[in-house]
Chains A and B, each alone.
Chain A
């Protein structure tokens, strides 16, 4: 079964001098996004987000990178940590490859949102990234992965 391991990344920061030092952890994945047949552009920071219903990308970012997105739009309401949000979206597909599995092309259902700015990283959400991969989060520290790791295997 094709598989790969990703480190969990860590960053300490100090957003408020009166508050504690904060520590953020994230699971980020470099993906090669298909722009045209045979042309894949690397994007550094896809985030694996099990709290996200959909794989989501800023429509502005997609257009800038040349990713083909559909013309048809619809409205999508979602619940975020900031409350309910209503967004104009385009339902499409994202075709990606990963460094560790160069022979595999993955086709992800993707919601391109006009309301997400290009500075927000693309999210790999449950629908349908989790249909393609089984992933296991292992927080146990090792010398290679001191902040833990995530094991991915194709289904």
Chain B
């Protein structure tokens, strides 16, 4: 269809937009019910370990961010940005990651963190 992009071209255009600094609220991984459930479950375990004490906000945020990646990109290679508002996955899959590394200037991608989101630890 004229005016539309194929999925790979669309994801490349999105990555270019984000790396160019045009970040939109919808780019952030959403905190879904599943993310909340997994975070609450870990924090319940934390409270047990703390014998009723409360985990700090930093500990809760760390767990939530771990679960954001696990829920939205299980067993995937990703490249993502992280800021005070949350996590933005810029690229997924080894082919896309390789393309970004080879074609995007280092200055634009230097904050993109790469890794595999393993569901098995």
Residues of A within 8 A of B (CB): 7, 9-13, 15, 23-26, 30, 39-45, 64-66, 118-121, 141-147
Would you call A10 and B50 a contact (CB within 8 A)? no
B55 touches A121 (CB 8 A): no
Q: Are A11 and B114 in contact (CB under 8 A)?
A: no
Residue in contact with B59 in the complex, picked from A40, A42, A146, CB distance below 8 Å:
A146
Contact digits for B94-121, partner A, Cβ 8 Å, 1 yes 0 no: 1001100110001000111111101111
In the docked arrangement, what's the CA distance between A7 and B66, Å?
12
Shortest A57–chain B CB gap in Å is 12
Contact B98 A64 (CB under 8 A): yes
| Count of CB-CB pairs between chains A and B under 8 Å | 89
Bound Cα distance A18, B98 (Å): 40
| Smallest Cβ-Cβ distance to B67: which chain A residue | A11
Give chain A's interface secondary structure class: strand
B10 at interface, CB cutoff 8 A = no
Q: Which residues of B contact A64 (CB under 8 A)?
A: 94, 97-98, 101
With A24-B121, A26-B121, A64-B94 known to touch, is A146 a contact of B46 (CB < 8 Å)?
Answer: yes
Q: Which residue of B lies closest to A66 (CB)?
A: B101
CB of B14, distance to nearest CB on chain A (Å): 20
